[in-house]
Structure 1
Amino acid sequence: MEMLIEYILQFGNLNQQQIGFISQKAQESALKKGEYFSEAGKIARKVGFILDGVIRFCYYSNTGEEITSYFMDENNFFVDLNSFDNKIPSTGYVQAVTDCKLIVFSQENWQELSNTIVGWDKIVQKILSKAMVEKIDKINPLLSEDATTRYLKFLEKYPKLTNRIPLSYLASYLGITPSSLSRIRKNIS
């Protein structure tokens, strides 16, 4: 719980009573590698915070190809925001890439935090803004650079993730085939 509170305090001030209330509304949870936190066709009803592990966001293209949008690791909140906020079925999946230890908030408890803690919505907005900037920083290179450069930048920016995620997921994220990724890795070794 301490990791979560330290993370939140980067975005705003909370008193001990508010911290206690957050802790009361949070629930420790675990996901095994391959399990889904939320799934396409279902409404996302919880927000997670990663204590340990890697999560990926993915979807299936209209040709049935599995595409990884992005990864998240420790010390990050995650949620299918559109589904969660608008109470509509998700179009993608949130899946554990590794065994994960999480802190989870139900939709009801998340709303109680918003209704009870003065300044909570402002804190959440700052967290969302940071996440949005990081997401854009991840996506921009995918649109404009060749596969080798994308892979090298991924290694530079996320050195801890490379050995924790399957090559097929990484290839999907980079927009290349697993065999192309293998060739790139061989050429730069």
Structure 2
Amino acid sequence: MKELIDYLLTFGDFKPCQLELITGKAQLTELRKDEYFSKAGQVPRQVGFVVEGVLRGCYYTHTGEEVTRCFISENSLVADYLNFEANLVSSEYLQACTDCKLLTFSRLDWDSLSELVEGWDIAKYKMVQVCLYQKSRKAPVISQDATTRYLEFLERHPLLVNRVPLAYVASYLGVTQQSLSRIRRTIR
């Protein structure tokens, strides 16, 4: 819970009793690698905080190609928040790339904090903005050559390349896995 408390304190000046109320609503959830936090075709039902592990946001194109849009790692909020908030069916997946430990909030608990904790709505707004920014597609510009995109990925996410399957990295970069292997060999 310490990680969640530290995270919350970056968005609001909560008193210990308020932090206790918030953390009291959180449930420890474990996901195995490849399990889904939320799925396309379903309404997202929870908001999570990543304590350990890496998840990815992905979707399928109309031709069936899988596209990794983002990676979400420790000390980050994970949610398909726009669909969660609007109670709409999602068009993307949030999937565990590694075994994960999350602290999760149901819709009821997440919403009830607005009534129970002074300053929650302001902090929630700030947390959601960061979450949405992290989930927005930040892949390198496709007009760049593949090597440049990979080098920028390494610079932005130095610890991820050894934690997630290379197929996901290739998908994120918009290259085939074979091309990524070739790039990795040439820059070593």
* Band the TM-score falls in, shorter-chain normalisation: over 0.9
Offset at residue 175 of structure 1 (A): 0.7
Q: Supply the AA of the counterpart residue of 2:155.
A: E
Mapped to 2, the partners of 1:185 and 1:12 lie a distance apart of 42
Query: For 1:145-176, what per-residue CA distance to the aligned partner results, in whole angstroms no more than 9, with x for missing partners?
Result: 22111110111111111100111100000011
Structure-2 separation of matches of 1:77 and 1:15:
21
For 1:180 and 1:28, the matched residues in 2 are separated by 39
Pairwise CA distance, 1:144: 4.3
- 2:166 aligns with 167
Conserved? CA contact 2:25–2:105, under 8 Å: yes
The answer (yes or no) to whether the contact 2:58–2:69 under 8 Å persists in 1 is: yes
- 1:155 alignment partner in structure 2: 154
Alpha-carbon distance change, 132 to 42 in structure 1, aligned in 2, over 3 angstroms = closer
Shift of 1:23: 1.4
Q: Which residue of 1 aligns with 2:5?
A: 5
Other-structure match for 1:124: 124
Amino acid aligned to 1:178 = Q
Q: Name the amino acid aligned to 1:173.
A: Y
Q: Cα distance, 1:182 vs. partner?
A: 0.8
Q: SS at the partner of 1:57?
A: strand
- Quote the offset at 1:134 in angstroms: 4.2
TM-score by length of 2: 0.95
2:76, 2:175 → 1: CA distance?
A: 27
Shift of 1:83: 1.5
Map of 1:46 onto structure 2: 46
State the alpha-carbon separation in 1 of the partners of residues 172 and 115 from structure 2.
37
The alpha carbon displacement at 1:131 in A equals 3.5
The Cα shift of 1:137 comes to 8.0
* Structure-2 separation of matches of 1:34 and 1:53: 12
Give the letter for the 2:166 counterpart: L
Identify, as 1 or 2, the structure richer in helix: 1
1:181 aligns with 2:180: yes
Contact 2:54–2:71, Cα closer than 8 Å, also in 1: yes
Q: Name the CA distance, whole Å, in 2 between partners of 1:160 and 1:105.
A: 27
Tell me, in whole angstroms, the C-alpha distance in 2 between the residues paired with 1:124 and 1:170. 30
Task: Kindly provide the amino acid, as one letter, of the partner of residue 161 in structure 1.
Answer: L
Name the CA shift for 1:89/1:132 in 2 (closer, same or farther; >3 Å): closer
Aligned residues with identical type, % of pairs: 49
**Is there any run of 5+ residues in structure 2 with no aligned partner, and where?**
none
